[in-house]
Amino acid sequence: MQQEIVVITGASAGVGRATAQAFGKRKAKVGLIARGRDGLEAARREIEAAGGQALVLPLDVSDHDAVDKAAGEVEKRFGPIDIWINNAMLSVFSPIMEMEPDEYRRVTDVTYLGYVWGTLAALRRMKPRDRGTIVQVGSALAYRGIPLQSAYCAAKHAVQGFHDSLRCELIHDNSNVRVVMVNMPALNTPQFRWVKSRLPRKGQPVPPIYQPEIAAEAIVWAAYSDRREINVGWPTSAAIIGNNFVPGFADHYLGRHGYDSQMTDEPEDPNRPNNLWDPLPGDQGAHGVFDDRATSRSIHLELNKKRPWVVAGAAAFILGLLVMRR
């Protein structure tokens, strides 16, 4: 196992934190980017306890110059970056008519442009060396927008389009730099208790819910695969494929059921702190409050990782049935 040099944005909590833990177990050297120092320091301790090394880089990914400077600091400390993972995100749970212009701008600056700035920082260093991998942490919502999360869905749609454009250009340039997008299902992360919300009840991921370690496993695997994209969990594939064939049905279904499915029965406190403009204090960790409802396994992911063998086995089975019928 080589000692990779990895950069993770949004590394202080949730999927980023679980991914940092996963690379720590690989004894990687990890640059940790997020706004909250408490979570970053906790992630650093976890990585070092597992035998890896970490560099804490507190910054806002909406700041292009700060992101590029951080990439330089990682290379000065550890050496050439092998893997860059764009993961930082913000969201607002709100009907569109109640959103403020600055809220749309803020979510876009972090959840979309943060990916662009991270990608550019990585490319400036990877392209001249003609090696490296950029992982874009996507979502089923990059393909299928849902109510009450318009800013986040739009930003993830933008990431998906940016990903397609970048792949085309890398192919044109005959570059060995790779980019892969990992589309996530509903995950048990802290975001549902810290994003800004105008919902009458507390937010929740739309079931079924997966633990963030599933996401981290997919990200690490994708970084070494030859895949263009990978969907994590059957609900992600169902949403993406279904939207290709019956988008109108999805519109009506989500219009009827997409509100209640995103809320628990607990009333929301409209005055609670949120992380839209500033990080919340303390270490939020990788997990949210839905451990009792979240699964730690994904058969879909395991089959997806073995897709060539699954396809070959299915083809052999069908061929065998045809031969038997003759």
Catalytic residues: 152
Question: How many CA atoms lie less than 13 Å away from 175 in the CB half-sphere?
Answer: 23
Burial 192-222 (b: 16+ CB within 10 A, else e): bbbbbbebeebbbbbeebbbbbbbbbbbbbb
Smallest Cα–Cα separation from 10: which of 65, 76, 90?
Answer: 90
Tell me how far apart the alpha carbons of residues 65 and 80 are, in angstroms, rounded to a whole number. Answer: 19
Cis omega (within 30 of 0) for bond into 273: no
User: Could you give the C-alpha distances from 129 to 123, 125, 326, in angstroms and in order?
Assistant: 10, 7, 56
Tell me how far apart the alpha carbons of residues 140 and 146 are, in angstroms, rounded to a whole number. Answer: 10
Q: Report the length, in residues, of the chain.
A: 326
Please provide the DSSP assignment of 128-176 as one string: HHT--EEEEEEEGGGTS--TT-HHHHHHHHHHHHHHHHHHHHHHHTT--
Tokens 């700035």 correspond to 117
